[in-house]
Structure 1
Amino acid sequence: MDARAIIARIRNGSPLERTELSWFANGLADGRVSDAQAGAFAMAVLLKGLGEAGRTDLTLAMRDSGRRLDWALDGPVIDKHSTGGIGDCVSLVLAPALAACGAYVPMISGRGLGHTGGTLDKLESIPGLATQLDEAAFRDLVARAGCAIVGASAEMVPADRRLYAVRDVTATVESLDLITASILSKKLAAGLEGLVLDVKTGSGAFMKCDADARALAEALVETANAAGCRTSAVVSDMNQPVAPALGNALEVAEAMRVLKGGTHGRLGALSIDLAGEALRLGGLAEAREIGAHMVSKTLSDGSAAAHFGRMVAALGGPNDFVENWESHLPVADVIRDLPAPRTGHVVAMDGEAMGLAVIGLGGGRQVETDRVNPAVGLDRVLPLGTSVAKGDPLLRVHAASEDHADRAAARLEQAIVIGDASARIPSLIHGRLG
């Protein structure tokens, strides 16, 4: 086969055979396809699309470009994926809660992307913890703790790693077909039996409007089910942070408060909802509501926290992290309030700007080689609809220096809108599919 002929067929709107997409994915993995050809392929797919069958074929071809996992465990292998947002530390609650319910969760996660935080960066704010494991250690951790949140190995889905890097520099990230194949190829390679998807919509999400988020959710659910993995999706709100904190250690702290049975709030509510649906997909609950009740029990009785503690210790973190997490997490040098500029109500937030403010504090990467400061970020973020008097704290800034705090405050003052009347607060769940 020939890469140029495959690219030309997509450019001309002709459907591709499964074998052609398989050849191209393998060519990405082994270098037979050049960067120029990968970029041309991505642009052709962006402009012409692959259709439902072609999208599924590309997803499976990318899945099969490297190592695939299979499992022989005494419970279902299930997982969750979020399309990214701010204050989204759901995975840290959901994975151990599912494990406490008898499921196994081999969660392969990533770093921060754009204005959103990465689950691996959050976990690595725990001293000593490392998220890269070889396959044998990964399998052992899943079997012993019931859950493992780790980075992808070099052997898994090499076609996606190559194509993703090309998409990032060729203005083709937005392709629905390529987004779908990228997300699902990694999840399917993990050998899942069930997958729940959290597709974000709103100012802090990549998809700013419901229609775009729903279109992505539909593509993901259709493709994953066609590939043989029971999958459903939730379209959830990202017009304000999921947790009242943005930043690696600060989000771990919020997850620990939920795992230790604290007030649930938006973070707990979304974690319980998604985990309940995952239990339904895995056959451990007859309905999402029953699964949600099972998950709530693991948060109140401490069993979810115990599974989290076993995972943290196995990844090199402190053995007593669950009991003494506040003393282990790093603390910023400067912590100060951001005062409300006027009396009124919190009526809107620019979530993307808030996420970028955290990046500017050093809580994420502006270039790949940047070192992340795990202590910086925002916490005590007031929810939409809250009434405030002039000077009341809207949130706290955690910074490495006064200068960094000043710059973040200037950004955040523009990102949070105070109005005279309380605005309608969007519901946490905008829709469900599957």
Structure 2
Amino acid sequence: MHIPTLIERKRDGGVLSDEEIHAVIAAFTRGDMPEYQMSSLAMAIFFRGMTPEETAALTDAMLHSGTMLAWNEHDPMRVDKHSTGGIGDKTSLVLAPLLACDGVWVPMISGRGLGITGGTLDKLESIPGFRTQLNEVEIHNVIDQVGCVMVGQTAGICPADKKLYALRDVTGTVPSIPLITASIMSKKLAEGLNRLVLDVKYGSGAFMKTEEQAHQLAQSMVTVGRALGVRSSVRLSAMNEPTGESAGNALEVAECVRCLKGEGPQDLEDIVLDLASAVAVSPRVDLQEMLRRGDAWVKFQQMVELQGGNVEALEKITSVHRAPFIAELKAPASGMLTRMDAGGLGYVILELGAGRSKAADPVDFAVGCDQIAKTGTHVHAGDVLLRVHARTKRTLDHALDVLPQHIEII
């Protein structure tokens, strides 16, 4: 295999065979292919794209670069969902235990937040003691007892993806639909799933800014899922305002506790039920009943305990992580709230410390916004539009100065 020839072919718009793609990924994972060559190939893919067949082969090669979760023939059906990320996107924490109530298994491998989009692992780690790094024996133990587990990627799963993403992150090749598809789908398929639902976001608070871009990514992922034997479906979700009423790690956990008790915001419950019904056995109406009577809340507590978390802290999580400075942003006038810009809020929340600009950055579990008003509601002058939770007076004042730019009342 002469790697420069393959790079040149892709650079010129040619097609790579399944065997060539598998050989490239194997060589790169072993360390036999220099990073500068993989960076060049990634840039060629960025500009020239890949056929659906090439994308499926790339996903398969990355999937088989490491280990996969193994299941027995008579184990329950395995299902999961993947979200492309957004502001206040906390659905995983409610969805996984709800699906476990339906008798399916949810071996959810999640990620951390980067940029303005929050990460499921960061939210979970705001629960004192909660362990997101489990080995495969521990993963199976939790699944066997509860039916769901929420963990980070193990060292053995998709090592090619880890190496390739690190390169893409520093070479300007992250926003490539084939490379995004292979990265997401290889990790999800490594869970050994039967069904997968994809929550693809678009709008100011999402990676994909337009519905057309989201549709292209969704189609690519569904095509790859089906090609590799996993029933995949998709939900396109607008992310022009935050999901639910909070954004920030501990604040979102508190909102999820409410939702797990059947007391959550309507938009959060609706998204959870839409996603769950796409991969569940029971119909949506039955899933709603399970959620509202608290079945998923019991499952969530069981999972937290088995993963080392302090269950007693769940209902007082905002006291465990309480920001020193909390202030309300109030409506300056009466009218219809027409804009609560998710992207703008995301950057403010990032600056408060709830997210990370670089993968190694720490996150502050306590900071963020809650009591976020929903667009389409009528507000009166003096009504609370949201609350800001900040670590310092300086970051609080800055947030209160900037946030009105992202809110509109007419």
Q: TM-score, normalised by structure 2?
A: 0.96
Q: Is the 8 A contact 1:29 1:65 kept in 2?
A: yes
Task: Work out whether 1:237 is the aligned partner of 2:256.
Answer: no
- Residue 165 of structure 1 aligns with which residue? 166
Q: In structure 2, which of residues 355, 370, 375 is the aligned counterpart of residue 364 of structure 1?
A: 355
Q: Is the 8 A contact 2:97 2:297 kept in 1?
A: yes
Q: In structure 1, which of residues 302, 315, 321 is the aligned counterpart of residue 294 of structure 2?
A: 302
Shift of 1:325: 4.3
In 1, Cα distance between equivalents of 2:219 and 2:33: 30
In 2, Cα distance between equivalents of 1:296 and 1:320: 25
The equivalences for 1:251-262 within 5 A come to 251-262=252-263
Shift of 1:326: 4.6
In 2, Cα distance between equivalents of 1:337 and 1:398: 9
Runs of 4 or more, structure 1, over 6 Å off, are: none
Secondary structure of 1:195's aligned partner: strand
The equivalences for 1:8-27 within 5 A come to 8-27=8-27
The superposition leaves residues 57-82 of structure 1 with CA deviations (integer Å, 9 ceiling, x where unpaired) of 11101101111112125311000000
Q: Is the 8 A contact 1:79 1:195 kept in 2?
A: yes
In 1, Cα distance between equivalents of 2:129 and 2:285: 34
- CA gap of 1:21–1:408, structure 2 versus 1, over 3 A, is same
Q: Is the 8 A contact 1:340 1:392 kept in 2?
A: yes
- Residue 149 of structure 1 aligns with which residue? 150
- Residue 191 of structure 1 aligns with which residue? 192
In 2, Cα distance between equivalents of 1:2 and 1:310: 53
User: How many pairs were matched up?
Assistant: 409
CA root-mean-square deviation: 1.5
In 1, Cα distance between equivalents of 2:25 and 2:56: 13
Q: Is the 8 A contact 2:340 2:374 kept in 1?
A: no
Secondary structure of 1:169's aligned partner: helix
Q: Is the 8 A contact 2:249 2:366 kept in 1?
A: yes
In 2, Cα distance between equivalents of 1:221 and 1:210: 16
Matched to 1:299, the amino acid is L
Matched to 1:172, the amino acid is T
Q: Is the 8 A contact 2:246 2:371 kept in 1?
A: yes
Secondary structure of 1:337's aligned partner: strand
Q: Is the 8 A contact 1:56 1:227 kept in 2?
A: yes
Matched to 2:386, the amino acid is L
In 2, Cα distance between equivalents of 1:144 and 1:98: 14
Q: In structure 2, which of residues 324, 345, 353 is the aligned counterpart of residue 354 of structure 1?
A: 345
In 1, Cα distance between equivalents of 2:295 and 2:185: 30
Q: TM-score, normalised by structure 1?
A: 0.91
In 2, Cα distance between equivalents of 1:8 and 1:69: 36
- Residue 128 of structure 2 aligns with which residue? 127
Secondary structure of 1:363's aligned partner: coil
Matched to 1:300, the amino acid is R
- Residue 212 of structure 1 aligns with which residue? 213
Task: Work out whether 1:317 is the aligned partner of 2:309.
Answer: yes
In 2, Cα distance between equivalents of 1:31 and 1:375: 41
Gaps of 5+ in 2: none
In 1, Cα distance between equivalents of 2:269 and 2:350: 25
- Residue 432 of structure 1 aligns with which residue? none
Shift of 1:350: 2.4
In 2, Cα distance between equivalents of 1:240 and 1:226: 34
- Residue 267 of structure 1 aligns with which residue? 268
- CA gap of 1:249–1:326, structure 2 versus 1, over 3 A, is closer
The equivalences for 1:26-425 within 5 A come to 26-72=26-72, 74-279=75-280, 284-285=281-282, 290=283, 292-321=284-313, 324-326=315-317, 329-419=320-410
Secondary structure of 2:183's aligned partner: helix
Shift of 1:263: 4.3
Q: Is the 8 A contact 1:203 1:349 kept in 2?
A: no
Q: Is the 8 A contact 2:255 2:264 kept in 1?
A: no
In 1, Cα distance between equivalents of 2:323 and 2:63: 41
Shift of 1:260: 0.8
In 2, Cα distance between equivalents of 1:301 and 1:341: 39
In 2, Cα distance between equivalents of 1:176 and 1:368: 21
- CA gap of 1:363–1:263, structure 2 versus 1, over 3 A, is closer
In 1, Cα distance between equivalents of 2:318 and 2:182: 41
Matched to 2:2, the amino acid is D
In 2, Cα distance between equivalents of 1:326 and 1:365: 21
Shift of 1:189: 1.0
Shift of 1:114: 1.6
Gaps of 5+ in 1: 420-434
In 2, Cα distance between equivalents of 1:57 and 1:90: 30
Matched to 1:372, the amino acid is V
The superposition leaves residues 252-285 of structure 1 with CA deviations (integer Å, 9 ceiling, x where unpaired) of 1111101011144111110011001111xxxx24
In 1, Cα distance between equivalents of 2:369 and 2:262: 22
- CA gap of 1:122–1:263, structure 2 versus 1, over 3 A, is closer
What is the percentage of aligned positions where both structures have the same residue?
Answer: 45
